[in-house]
Structure 1
Amino acid sequence: MLIQAYATKGDLAEVLKENEFQPSQLVLLEIFVQIIDAMVYLVNYGIVHGDLACRNALVFRFHNSNPQENLVKLTDFGLIRPSTLYLVVGSTASTANLLVLVRYAAPEILPIEGFSNYSKKSDVHSMGILMCEACSQGQLPYASIEDDNEVRRLKLNGDIFRRPENCDEKLWTIIVQCWHQHQRPEVRPTFKMLKQSLLELRLLSIVRYLLRIYFIYE
C-alpha cells in the first residue's frame, strides 16, 4: 500500500493539456530536476520505475514563471524488480504488468516479452520522453500516429521526435542524450549526470534572464 499526500492540481499531463499551466522553460527545468531527484533516490535503492511519464508526476503547486512556486512528486513507480527499500513476503508471484507502454519504453525493451530488460538506463530513456512531452504542452508521444506497432517500428529504427517549440537547442541536446545511440543503453547518462546538465542549463537561463532585464531597464 502506498499512502501519500493528495495532489490537488492533478497530474502534470492533465494540467498541461488543460492549458491552465503554460510554464516557461525555466519552470520546466525546475520540474525536471524535482522528478530526477526522485529518480536518484529510487536508483539508490535499486528500484526501476518502469513507467516514467507526465501522468505519473503529481502537481501540488504550479506557477507559469516562478520556478520556486512549482512542486511535483513522482508516483506510480512499478515494482519491476526487488530492491532494498521494500520486502516481498510469502509470495513468488510477479508484481509486473506485462503491458509494455511502447511510446515511453526504451528500444531495447520492445523486442522482448515481459520486463526482463527494464533498467535504470531504460528509465533514463523514458525521462527523455517525459521531458519532450512536457515541452510539447502534454502532447502524447508520437501523437500523430495511432498504431502502437508503427511507433514500435519507428523506435526500433532509431527515429526520435522533432524539437518542441518550448525547448531551446541546449535543452533539446540534453533530451536527445537520453535516447543516445539507439539500443546501447550503457552510453546514456545516469540520472545524476542528467541532473547536473539541467542545473547548468538552469543557471545559464537565469543569467540570460537577468541580463535581458538589465538591458531593458538600462
Structure 2
Amino acid sequence: MTSLTGLTPLLVQLDWLLRIVVAAICGAIIGYERAIQRKSAGVRTHIVVAIASALFMIVSKYGFADLLNMHGIALDPSRIAAQIVTGISFIGAGTILVRREQISGLTTAAGVWAVAAIGMAVGAGMYAIGILTTIFLFFVQMIFHDDTLINKIIVHVRFNIQIEAVNKHHILPQIKEELEENQVENIYVKILDVSDEKIVFNVDGIINHKKDENDIIMALRKYPDITRISHTRGGQ
C-alpha cells in the first residue's frame, strides 16, 4: 500500500526524517554565524528551532490526511495545531530570563516548542517520525550541551567594547596599537560622543576564539587616560 505521496510508508517516514535533518543543517549554518557574532541564540538554539519548525510543517501538511479522506468531512482540523504552536510559543517565552545583559533559557524555550511539535506528530498518528525526531533532537542536545564541539569549530569571534577616555590627540592611535599587539584584527572605531574634556567611542574587531577577552581589557586599563571600559558580549 502506498501513501498519498506515492511512496511506501517506510520511504515516506525516511523522507520526512530527511527533511528534518536538512532543516537542522540549515539551522546550524545560521546559528554558526550568530555564534561568531556572540549572540545569545547560537548553533544549538537554531538547530532546535529548525527541527521543530520542520516537524510542525510535516504535521500540518500530512498529519490530517486520514481525517480529510473520510466521507462527509468538511472542516479544517489544522486549526487546533495552529493554536498549539501559538500557545506553546508563549510558554517558551516564559522560560527566557535576562539578568545583567545575560540571556538564559533560549534553548529551553526552543526545546519546549520542539516537544510540542513531537506531541502533535504522535497525536496525529505519525508515530515513527515523532520517535525518530525525539531521538535525533536528544542527540543534538547532548552533543551541543556544553559547547565543547562548537568551540572547536568556531575559530574567530567578534570583540566589542565601549571606551570613555580623556580627550587627547594621541588616545585613538594608542588604543589601536595596543589592540593590535593583543591580536585584535579588523579594528573599527566609531566615536559616539566627544567634548573638550572626554571622548566616548565604540571599538569593534575580531579575535581568536581562544583569546581571553579579559586580558585585552586589562591591557587597556593600564592607560591612565582611559576612565571606563564597557564590554558588550555580541556587540551591536
TM-score greater than 0.5 by the shorter chain: no
Of the two, which has the highest radius of gyration?
2
Higher relative contact order at CA 8 Å, sep ≥6: structure 1 or structure 2? 1
TM-score, L = length of structure 2:
0.28
TM-score normalised over the length of structure 1: 0.29
Q: In proportion to residue count, which structure has more strand?
A: 2
